[in-house]
Amino acid sequence: MNKSILALAVATTLAAPFAVQADTILYGSARVSVDYNDEKIPSLIEDPNNSRLLKLDISKVSSWDVVNNDSRLGVLGLEDLGGGLSAVYQYEFGVDVTEGGNFESNRPKFVGIKGSFGTLTLGTQETPYYHVAGVTDIFNSGKTFTGTAWLGGSFNGFDVDLSGNTSRGEGSLTRLDNSLYYTTPDFNGFSGEALLVMNGAKGVGVTQTSDALTLKNNPSDDIDLWNIAAKYSNGPFFAGVSYIKLDGGTDYSDNLTRTIVRTLDFDLDQWVVGLGYSSGPFSVGFIYEQGTLNLFGLQSNMSFNGTRWGGDDATNYYLTGSYTFGNNMISAAYGQLDPGTSGYSKIDNYILGYQYNFSKRTRLWVEYIGRSNDPTKISLPVGNVNIVDADPFGDQNAFSIGTRVDF
């Protein structure tokens, strides 16, 4: 169950067991670590010199913790229906081996039909966007591929819990529920994917959380979100491009104060290009993303009494590499995320990792996760009032020592 830059899609991952098994397969992965996290968290507090003003405060939080890193338990399988058709299914649950919060996650759960035309499935599924961006998701700790490492990690548009520091998956563009997914057959290395999210009647209103802005309900009566991707995988090479679109509107508003109305624009989109190469002991991956379907795009397109906060599309590049010798693997990553939002600072991300493989199923890892950002206080004049905010992220230094056992 090792990750590979040449086996990103769920359909590809499941194809091998489907080809040789006609029964249900039980599988799982236990992933737990001891983490040290030293983080600076920006916030706005009352100015002691003027109670009517807010000032930027940087609080430092340090902690040790035993952490679950996306452990899971699942079943998958296939039934031969004859005539070249097969029924396929997967039912996977998140398992918290540290605190007991089991079977509550948006991990893959779907059922569908596979044939010469491709594969069509319904349920909770990984996105085509992640199947391109995930070429750089090579580390073990849940602190690595989060909301500052890739733009898809900061999206929280369907009202699920997303912590930017503890889990790489839940709430982001990694997986989406209420989805219909189609994968084409492989054409000499070329393939295509499409996903639609349809979540019933349109809801009204928004919810504000400390982690991110979220939709209280789905944004439309029709297709809420659609995502397409084209990929090429042949030998050591991988290339992919994906476009994702949230079909919302500008009718989501609330009263920030008695006199100020905040309006959120949920007509957002984003694209990513991913490249990978793996030959012998060497592997490299690279992604470039641009768009507004992220925490920063929501902020840039927010308006107060008609005054837009302002900014450009968020952009992000992320480069990873690894080298394997014997049972050992060393890996590294560097990336820079430009929020685009007026006043926000650029975020630098860097990771160093070591992995020792006891066997094909059991490994030990040691990883360092670093983030550098110079947060600032931001002010937007609205009439005779200033709306103030601050960068959502500060510096971070974290260490993760963990083990993973697959079965």
| Domain annotation covers residue 3 | no
| Domain annotation covers residue 210 | yes
Residue 92 has pLDDT above 70, yes or no: yes
**Among the listed residues 314, 311, 267, the one whose alpha carbon sits nearest the alpha carbon of residue 291:** 314
pLDDT, mean of residues 201-205? 58
| Domain annotation covers residue 364 | yes
Domain that holds residue 331: 10-406
Tokens of 406: 């697959």
Tokens of 176: 């989406």
The percentage of residues in the chain with a pLDDT greater than 70, rounded to a whole number, is: 82
**Among the listed residues 119, 104, 38, the one whose alpha carbon sits nearest the alpha carbon of residue 399:** 38
Query: Rounded distance, CA 72 to CA 166, Å?
Result: 15
pTM: 0.88
Residue 3 has pLDDT above 80, yes or no: no
> Residue 5: what pLDDT?
33
Q: Is 280 left (phi over 0), alpha (psi -120 to 50) or beta?
A: left
| Domain annotation covers residue 125 | yes
At 358, is the secondary structure helix, strand, or coil? coil
Residue 72 has pLDDT above 80, yes or no: yes
- Tokens 């452990």 belong to residue: 71
Task: Output the CA torsion sign for 256, 260, 261, 267.
Answer: negative
| Domain annotation covers residue 298 | yes
Distance between the two ends of the chain, CA-based, in angstroms? 9
The edge-to-edge listing of strands for the beta sheet with 252-255 is 252-255, 261-264, 303-304, 307-308
Task: Say how many domains are in the chain.
Answer: 1
| Domain annotation covers residue 1 | no
| Domain annotation covers residue 4 | no
Query: Rounded distance, CA 320 to CA 286, Å?
Result: 6
> Residue 384: what pLDDT?
78
> Residue 103: what pLDDT?
74
The letter for the amino acid at 364 is: L
| Domain annotation covers residue 345 | yes
Query: Rounded distance, CA 302 to CA 299, Å?
Result: 5
> Residue 45: what pLDDT?
73
Among 48-52, 87-91, 151-155, the range scoring the smallest mean pLDDT is 48-52
pLDDT, mean of residues 318-347? 96
pLDDT, mean of residues 183-212? 76
Q: What's the CATH number where 67 sits? A: 2.40.160.10
Residue 111 has pLDDT above 70, yes or no: yes
Mean pLDDT of the chain: 84
